[in-house]
Amino acid sequence: MKKILLLSTGGTIACAEGSDGLTPALTGESLLSYTKEVQDICQIDAVQILNIDSTNMHPEYWINIAEYIEKNYQSYDGFVITHGTDTMAYTSAALFYIIQNSNKPIVITGAQKPIIFKETDAKRNLVNAIQFACNGVGGVFIVFDGKVICGSRAEKLRTKSYNAFESINYPYLASIEDNEIKYNGQVSIYKKEQELTFYKSLCTNIFLLKLTPATDPDILDYLSDKYLGIIIESYGSGGIPFEDKKNFLAKLKMLDQAGKIVVIKTQVLLEGTDLSKYEVGQKALKYPVIPAYDMSTEAIVTKLMWVLGQTKDKEKAKQMFLTPIRNDMIIEKLA
């Protein structure tokens, strides 16, 4: 029998009614009492490492979760993390970069409704996550609503529906129907290729700026004083405004001279950034900015944290960011 370690962090799946609304209350052991149908295929231990609404998740907790996995890595065949849905995609992407080249499954799941409710998606999601963790495919994944999503490609699109998460610009790795896991060809990318590494350092000194037509370029003067890395979420294919009072190009030069790392992404959810297509993008490329290509917002934020946690050298940081890790980005001209 496979040995699985359940790491419980709270979230809706573990919620009960409190005086001010739903709040995490159930332990990991309590959650396991709803999974009797899989307990004959594996031995499951539970550890309660947090009990929070995932709105309260922050990077120090990501490091703590990774440390629990590292400490117990040799003793278990797979790991399941129960987590709130609000920041699940951030945690998934963070662990994707913090824990690299795992040949054991690290599976994150949760629910849109608490497991104690009569009508809930929690039981199915938790059972599916345990089933996938028993299957020996290495890497970091989200399992939710019968879908297996690469850890760096998930994004929450719905606040109420059971199909809360989508895989952004990348296929689902597998589906789970009637307790059967059906893989597609992409799952082969998770075969072990390099040495398992647990990274210990993240740089959280970054900021995500979403442009609107009213955004004043002078905001970047303030951000330059406060942050080492700045992600600019622009429009369309990723162009940067440059006319009249909305000229951001001069600010890109200022940020470069100040030694800042600048990543440019699109606000559009699907199909990615292509700075080479329009004048507004090509002008930006004359500065040492980093295009985000087809990465999700959560992957961009956490990868930049990981990169700057390893180096502050601008050229090395750009090279690391633009080096694909298990297909977290596909670098090509996007039509």
DSSP string, 138-164: -EEEEEETTEEEETTSEEE--SSSS--
Is residue 10 domain-shared with residue 50, that is, in the same domain? yes
- Of 198, 232, 251, the domain-final residue: 198
Is residue 152 domain-shared with residue 276, that is, in the same domain? no
Residue 280 lies in a domain: yes
**What is the per-residue pLDDT for 188?**
54
Is residue 217 domain-shared with residue 290, that is, in the same domain? yes
| 144 Cβ contact list (under 8 Å, min separation 6) | 109, 110, 125, 154, 163, 164, 165
Is residue 176 domain-shared with residue 93, that is, in the same domain? yes
- Of 148, 164, 198, the domain-final residue: 198
| Domains in the chain, number | 2
pTM recorded for the entire structure: 0.95
Is residue 190 domain-shared with residue 314, that is, in the same domain? no
Domain that holds residue 109: 2-198
Write down how long the chain is. 335
3-state SS class at 113: coil
3-state SS class at 108: strand
Is residue 190 domain-shared with residue 211, that is, in the same domain? no
| 209 Cβ contact list (under 8 Å, min separation 6) | 215, 219, 220, 223, 230, 231, 232, 233
Residue 328 lies in a domain: no
| Helix H or strand E encompassing 106 | strand 105-109
Q: Give the other-Cβ count within 10 Å of 200's Cβ.
A: 11
Is residue 131 domain-shared with residue 16, that is, in the same domain? yes
Is residue 177 domain-shared with residue 219, that is, in the same domain? no
Question: Taking the chain (335 residues) in consecutive chunks of 10 residues, what is each chunk's mean pLDDT?
Answer: 97 95 96 91 96 97 98 98 98 98 97 97 97 94 97 96 96 93 72 82 97 95 97 93 89 94 95 90 92 96 98 95 93 58
In whole angstroms, how far apart are CA 241 and each of 93, 163, 247, 334? 30, 36, 6, 20
Separation CA 134–CA 282 (nearest Å): 48
**What is the per-residue pLDDT for 149?**
97
Q: Which residues are catalytic?
A: 12
Residue 331 lies in a domain: no
Is residue 26 domain-shared with residue 101, that is, in the same domain? yes
Domain of 41: which CATH number?
3.40.50.1170
**What is the per-residue pLDDT for 334?**
45
Is residue 242 domain-shared with residue 267, that is, in the same domain? yes
Is residue 213 domain-shared with residue 167, that is, in the same domain? no
- Of 198, 227, 261, the domain-final residue: 198
DSSP 8-state class, residue 20: T
